[in-house]
């Protein structure tokens, strides 16, 4: 009698020993997490919680956090550098830019010299109250005292004699050359404008705007060729010296800086852009006070009109170029001096409006949030790197970097979240719901100001920038959580999980909970829960109920390290497989 042969149940084991970060999508790899809280890739391939942050101080009304060797910030109307009060500014959000030893503040248009400690305005305005005298002079300000004026040249001139030829307009100053027996035009003539304290606020070669002069040739943009406290010398020509009395009107001299939406520094110049004026600017070489100095030199200021539609959304210097972003275009500035500056347009995903603070360079690659996700830009075309963050629409992003990590705080319909992209391993991790306002890196620490106006340090530094009235401290023990994707959803053979073993190291005082969810019921069942009394490694086994698919959630408090997850899978059939009734 022949009896049927019954084969044994098939069994297989698989182990995860390298955890691949977060993937918030429907289908993910088994070594990835569908969701996380307060996790890090620092100990890759081990899965572990992040470091405790340092909580350093609380601001009253912060408006920026920036670094130039040392941290700088604005709290209310007070500007601080390296923790020391410097001076007063307006109570509004700022942009800062470093150029040499200078730290420039916009939109206040102020500059702080970090070595000398001087704090002053970029712009300057002077209005005369006394009489103003105009004298034809040489470039150093010495007057031409003996020259003839007329429409015809003097008879029998002597060598070197001067004649102001008024037969043409404007008049031309000429000097007699005995060698050539001819009157030679002096190509550049200058006028000394003198009045009490008229030159005190200005420097040589400042580009200024003059108004209120009785001679219209001076009511324009000019460059100061020489100066003293009581005079300035500019290019011009007059027939004879004259005096403008205080009763005839006041002379006004202004050194101005354009209003700009975004600023950055490149090759000892500050660059900026204006959406209102559709223009891009840069200051004079090494001189952030001068934006209207056009002398035909390589050190001149620069301005250009941009024809593309839309507002500017950000600016940064990258790989030797200045980049100005709009949401759908990148303007790239080439060149080394105004004579060869060129602006090219790259029609690609730019920075999302409102996410200009997401622009961060990590290991030569530029990262930012566009309208279609987080992009990495290496100078050619941007590439999306945020596919594993799911399908949410993100906005209001703020970025920072330390080491090889890109920190990114941004918002979606559920609120703010802080993510970290490890550029060396291409792994995303999620920390918490911290809403960061500003990031700034100093040395090997990344500082940030959060929504509670606290100054925090991601790596736990607490010995710098503390306030006397409140001691700095580390966070309390961190609550963390990881959630897997659905296990076995891709298997058509009715397999089921017989057991799951999790190997982890648990320090003394730490607690761990393990929960399971079967068949997407949204109900979590507690499988294991314990608090460790002393540090040790554990092999934790759980036996989930037989089901079509299962999801795990591991959570805890303390510095737990998860080394591996091993699952045993049994084969099924149409007879013994799981069926839903």
> For residue 510, what is the domain's CATH number?
2.60.120.260
Beta bridge partners of 573: none
Q: pLDDT category, 145, cuts 50, 70, 90?
A: confident
Beta bridge partners of 69: none
Residue 257 and residue 328: Cα distance in Å, rounded?
A: 28
Quickly list DSSP for 3-72. Answer: PPPPPPPPEEEEEE-S---B--SSS--TTSEEEEESEESTTTTSBEEPPPPEEEEE-SSEEEEEEESEEE
Q: Are 248 and 261 in contact (CB under 8 A)?
A: no
Q: pLDDT category, 289, cuts 50, 70, 90?
A: very high
Give me the torsion for CA of 319, 322, 325, 329, rounded to 10°.
-80
In a domain, 272, yes or no: no
Q: pLDDT category, 310, cuts 50, 70, 90?
A: very high
In a domain, 58, yes or no: no
Q: pLDDT category, 489, cuts 50, 70, 90?
A: low
Residue 531 and residue 512: Cα distance in Å, rounded?
A: 6
User: Mean pLDDT across the stretch 366-387?
Assistant: 96
pLDDT at residue 508 is higher than 70: yes
Burial of 85 (0-12, 13-18, 19+ CB in 10 A): exposed
So what's the pLDDT on residue 1?
52
State whether 46 and 140 are in the same domain. Answer: no
In a domain, 222, yes or no: yes
So what's the pLDDT on residue 537?
66
In a domain, 175, yes or no: yes
**Across 104-108, 172-176, 352-356, least confident range:** 172-176
275's CB contacts (< 8 A; 6+ apart) are 261, 311, 312
State whether 32 and 138 are in the same domain. Answer: no
State whether 44 and 132 are in the same domain. Answer: no
User: Mean pLDDT across the stretch 410-439?
Assistant: 96
Residue 140 and residue 367: Cα distance in Å, rounded?
A: 51
131 in helix, strand or coil?
coil
In a domain, 458, yes or no: no
Question: Which of 255, 280, 296 is the last residue in one of the domains?
Answer: 255
In a domain, 421, yes or no: no
Residue 507 and residue 536: Cα distance in Å, rounded?
A: 7
Give the model confidence (pLDDT) of 178-211 as tens digits. Answer: 888 899 999 999 999 999 999 999 999 999 999 9
State whether 31 and 132 are in the same domain. Answer: no
State whether 242 and 136 are in the same domain. Answer: yes
So what's the pLDDT on residue 469?
79
Q: What domain range is 563 assigned to? A: 11-50+479-570
State whether 44 and 155 are in the same domain. Answer: no
Q: Are 17 and 564 in contact (CB under 8 A)?
A: yes
In a domain, 467, yes or no: no
pLDDT at residue 297 is higher than 50: yes
Strands (E), 138-201: 148-150, 162-165, 172-177, 182-185, 190-194
Q: What is the mean pLDDT of the chain?
A: 91
Residue 76 and residue 516: Cα distance in Å, rounded?
A: 49
Question: CA of 511: how far to CAs of 515, 558, 559, 560, in Å?
Answer: 14, 7, 9, 9
Strands (E), 107-161: 110-113, 119-121, 124-127, 132-137, 148-150
Residue 420 and residue 99: Cα distance in Å, rounded?
A: 30
Residue 549 and residue 554: Cα distance in Å, rounded?
A: 17
pLDDT at residue 6 is higher than 60: no
Q: What is the CA radius of gyration of the chain?
A: 35
pLDDT at residue 575 is higher than 60: no
State whether 139 and 248 are in the same domain. Answer: yes
Q: Are 566 and 500 in contact (CB under 8 A)?
A: yes
Q: Are strands 445-450 and 62-68 parallel, antiparallel or unpaired?
A: unpaired
Beta bridge partners of 132: 244
Tally of domains within the chain: 2
Q: Are 198 and 231 in contact (CB under 8 A)?
A: yes
Query: Which pairs count as long-range contacts for 87-90, CB under 8 Å and 24+ apart, including other chains?
Result: 87/112, 87/119
In a domain, 198, yes or no: yes
State whether 250 and 136 are in the same domain. Answer: yes
How many CB atoms lie under 10 A from the CB of residue 526? Answer: 10
Percent share of the chain, pLDDT over 70: 93
Question: Which of 255, 273, 308 is the last residue in one of the domains?
Answer: 255
The pTM of this model reads 0.90
pLDDT at residue 548 is higher than 90: no
Question: Which of 207, 240, 255 is the last residue in one of the domains?
Answer: 255
So what's the pLDDT on residue 580?
42
Residue 206 and residue 301: Cα distance in Å, rounded?
A: 11
Strands (E), 202-320: 207-211, 221-223, 226-228, 231-235, 242-244, 252-255, 262-266, 269-274, 279-282, 302-305, 314-318
């Amino acid at each position: 009698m022949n009896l049927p042969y019954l084969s044994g149940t098939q069994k297989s084991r698989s182990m995860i020993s390298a955890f691949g970060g977060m993937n918030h999508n429907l289908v993910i790899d088994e070594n990835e997490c569908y969701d996380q809280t307060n996790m890090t890739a620092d100990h890759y391939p081990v899965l572990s919680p992040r470091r405790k942050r340092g909580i350093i101080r609380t601001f009253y009304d912060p408006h920026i956090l920036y670094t130039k060797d040392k941290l700088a910030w604005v709290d209310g109307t007070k500007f601080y550098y390296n923790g020391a009060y410097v001076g007063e500014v307006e109570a509004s959000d700022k942009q800062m830019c470093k150029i040499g030893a200078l730290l420039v503040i916009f939109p206040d248009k102020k500059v702080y010299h970090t070595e000398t400690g001087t704090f002053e305005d970029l712009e300057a305005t002077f209005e005369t109250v006394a009489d103003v005298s105009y004298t034809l002079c040489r470039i150093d300000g010495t007057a031409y005292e003996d020259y003839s004026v007329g429409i015809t040249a003097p008879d029998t001139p002597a060598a070197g004699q001067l004649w102001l030829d008024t037969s043409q307009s404007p008049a031309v100053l000429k000097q007699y050359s005995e060698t050539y027996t001819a009157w030679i035009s002096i190509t550049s003539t200058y006028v000394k404008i003198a009045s009490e304290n008229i030159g005190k606020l200005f420097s040589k070669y400042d580009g200024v705007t003059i108004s209120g002069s009785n001679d219209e040739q001076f009511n324009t943009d000019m460059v100061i060729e020489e100066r003293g406290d009581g005079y300035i010398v500019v290019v011009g020509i007059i027939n004879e010296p004259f005096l403008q009395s205080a009763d005839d009107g006041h002379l006004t001299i202004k050194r101005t800086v354009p209003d700009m939406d975004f600023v950055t520094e490149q090759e000892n110049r500050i660059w900026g852009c204006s959406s209102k004026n559709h223009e891009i600017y840069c200051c004079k070489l090494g001189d952030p006070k001068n934006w209207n100095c056009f002398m035909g030199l390589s050190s001149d200021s620069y301005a250009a009109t941009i024809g593309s539609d839309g507002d500017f959304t950000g600016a940064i210097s990258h790989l030797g170029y200045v980049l100005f972003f709009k949401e759908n275009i990148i303007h790239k500035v080439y060149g080394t001096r105004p004579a060869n500056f060129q602006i090219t347009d790259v029609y690609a995903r730019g920075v999302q409006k409102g996410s200009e603070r997401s622009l961060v360079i990590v290991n030569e690659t530029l990262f930012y949030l566009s309208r279609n996700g987080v992009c990495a830009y290496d100078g050619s075309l941007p590439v999306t790197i945020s596919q594993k963050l799911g399908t949410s629409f993100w906005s209001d992003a703020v970025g920072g970097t330390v080491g090889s990590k890109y920190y990114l705080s941004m918002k979606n319909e559920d609120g703010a979240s802080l993510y970290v992209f490890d550029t060396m391993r291409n792994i995303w991790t999620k920390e918490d719901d911290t809403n960061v306002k500003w990031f700034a890196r100093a040395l090997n620490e990344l500082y940030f100001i959060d929504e509670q106006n606290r100054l925090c340090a991601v790596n736990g530094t607490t010995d710098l920038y503390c306030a006397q009235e409140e001691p700095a401290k580390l966070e309390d023990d961190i609550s963390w959580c990881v959630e897997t994707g659905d296990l076995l959803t891709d298997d058509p053979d009715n397999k089921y999980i017989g057991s799951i073993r999790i190997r982890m190291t648990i320090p003394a005082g730490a607690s761990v909970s393990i929960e399971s969810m079967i068949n997407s019921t949204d109900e979590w069942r507690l499988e294991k829960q314990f608090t460790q009394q002393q540090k040790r490694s554990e092999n934790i086994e759980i036996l989930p109920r037989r089901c079509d698919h299962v999801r795990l959630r591991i959570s805890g408090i303390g510095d737990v390290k998860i080394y591996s997850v091993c699952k045993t899978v049994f084969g099924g059939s149409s007879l013994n497989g799981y069926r839903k009734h």
